[in-house]
Amino acid sequence: MNWRAVWAIYYFEMSRTARTVMQSILSPVISTSLYFVVFGAAIGSRITDIDGVSYGAFIVPGLIMLMLLMQSTSNASFGIYFPKFTGTIYELLSAPISFVEIVIGYVGAAATKSIVLGLIILATAGFFVPLEIQHPFFMVLFLLLTSVTFSLLGFIIGIWADGFEKLQIVPLLIITPLTFLGGSFYSLSMLPPFWQTVTLFNPVVYLISGFRWSFYGIADVTVGMSLAATAFFLAVCLAIVWWIFRTGYKLKS
């Protein structure tokens, strides 16, 4: 393993974040804080507790997960797409480094940025609503698994996209709606039985449910199912990345 090459890619991507702090860090934190103000304080004060948790505190895991999915995907997709756009991807592919080292560098940087951002938003939420974390180990585990998984998804999107418009298709038209419909702002028990069953086909439900369980010990599905679904999605993304580099899909042309 060429750790020097991994570090070079990782450091370059993290340096890009440092140069765009307003866009990369402050903007997501401010926008998520507005959710806390509107839903947690204004609307939440008029909504009864959900399973013994105040509404403002109940939506915190969902909002962190929403930001985590969006930022992990966007950071990783742009990180690998930009070298394709400028043509420097061929220098990277001809360098004496393996595809594993390339993926670790780009995905590691995207996941790191998302985790740091998630922790900042978690700390910010403490100023608006009372928080408790009953299972900190599982909270960190879900944070890591989700960040890495969706960074891999973003990496795949960045290779697949042939224009800046395509980079936004999956995050805006697929991930965001699935997250809003995955229990970010409500419990599945509040839905009619038919829609509870339909919602279980939404993969984001398992991520949000497991993450919320790590905070308050309440979940729409069992934590085992949440971990299994996350691990399955991670395995699928790893398999697709392996196939991309094995076949040279959109990399050799």
- Written as six digits, the tokens of 4 are 């020097």
Does the pLDDT of residue 241 top 70, yes or no? yes
How far is 197 from 176, CA to CA, in rounded Å? 20
> Per-residue b/e over 130-166, b at no fewer than 16 CB within 10 Å?
ebeeebeebbebbbebbbbbbbbbbbbbbbbbeeeee
pLDDT at res. 106: 93
pLDDT at res. 146: 94
pLDDT at res. 243: 93
pLDDT at res. 24: 67
Predicted confidence (pLDDT) per residue in 171-202, tens digit: 888 888 888 888 888 888 888 888 888 898 99
Domain spans, the chain: 21-247
- Written as six digits, the tokens of 68 are 């985590």
pLDDT band at 153 (very low <50, low <70, confident <90, very high): very high
pLDDT band at 253 (very low <50, low <70, confident <90, very high): low
Predicted confidence (pLDDT) per residue in 40-93, tens digit: 666 666 677 788 888 888 888 988 998 899 889 988 998 888 888 887 778 887
Predicted confidence (pLDDT) per residue in 224-239, tens digit: 999 999 999 999 999 9
What is the average per-residue pLDDT within 150-171? 87
pLDDT at res. 41: 63
Predicted confidence (pLDDT) per residue in 13-51, tens digit: 888 777 776 666 777 777 777 777 777 666 666 677 788
What is the average per-residue pLDDT within 149-160? 93
